[in-house]
């Protein structure tokens, strides 16, 4: 396994963690809250953003305008069943989601959720490190690389691991600040 591959995998893990963070409510309207919502459209689970235009006209409202009016009730049902905790209101053309201000208890819950997501991201980075180190050790055993080269590569892998773990920590601190800011 090449160092460039290891770094690319770790970067993808950080990006995935960032996407997960975007799905956590912060008390402000954000279209990415609906990223995980899928609608059963003609028997196929379809991402909501493929079926509708999603806008945030102000800080506390999300509007969803379906491309196909027949899917309005399906979208409303999917949002109601999702884990975002918002109640959709349907006026026959547009679905509106009002984002209520977060209570301090909900903020604490969301901070815990963000912490869990950050830990999952760090675990995936450590798994990438483990796989890369195993690959280096196998190369060393087969005498493809020397012991010194193996040690150097493992040090570089550890530095990459530290770098990307620190990035996740930064993202977590940023998200916690976002959640706790009233």
pLDDT digits (tens, 9 = 90+) for 118-141: 999 999 999 999 999 999 999 989
pLDDT category at 107 given cuts 50, 70, 90 is confident
All domains in the chain, ordered by first residue? 3-22+103-180 (1.10.132.20), 31-98 (3.30.1360.40)
**Least-confidence region, from 97-101, 148-152, 174-178:** 97-101
CA distance 116 to 110: 10
pLDDT category at 160 given cuts 50, 70, 90 is very high
DSSP 102: P
Whether the pTM exceeds 0.85: the reply is no
Question: What pLDDT is recorded for position 1?
Answer: 67
Closest CA to 100 of 55, 73, 62, 54: 62
CA distance 46 to 23: 17
């Amino acid at each position: 396994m090449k160092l460039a591959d290891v770094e690319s995998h770790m970067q993808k893990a950080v990006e995935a963690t960032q996407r997960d963070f975007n799905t956590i409510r912060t008390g402000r309207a954000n279209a990415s809250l609906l990223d995980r919502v899928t609608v059963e459209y003609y028997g196929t689970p379809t991402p909501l953003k493929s079926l509708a235009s999603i806008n945030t006209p102000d800080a506390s409202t999300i509007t969803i305008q379906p491309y196909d009016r027949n899917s309005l009730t399906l979208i409303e049902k999917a949002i109601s069943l999702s884990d975002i905790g918002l109640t959709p209101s349907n006026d026959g053309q547009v679905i509106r989601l009002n984002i209520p201000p977060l209570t301090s208890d909900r903020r604490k819950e969301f901070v815990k959720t963000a912490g869990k997501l950050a830990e999952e991201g760090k675990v995936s980075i450590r798994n990438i490190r483990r796989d890369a180190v195993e690959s280096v050790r196998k190369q060393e055993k087969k005498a493809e690389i020397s012991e010194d080269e193996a040690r150097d590569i493992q040090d570089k892998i550890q530095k990459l691991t530290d770098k990307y773990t620190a990035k996740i920590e930064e993202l977590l601190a940023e998200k916690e600040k976002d959640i706790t800011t009233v």
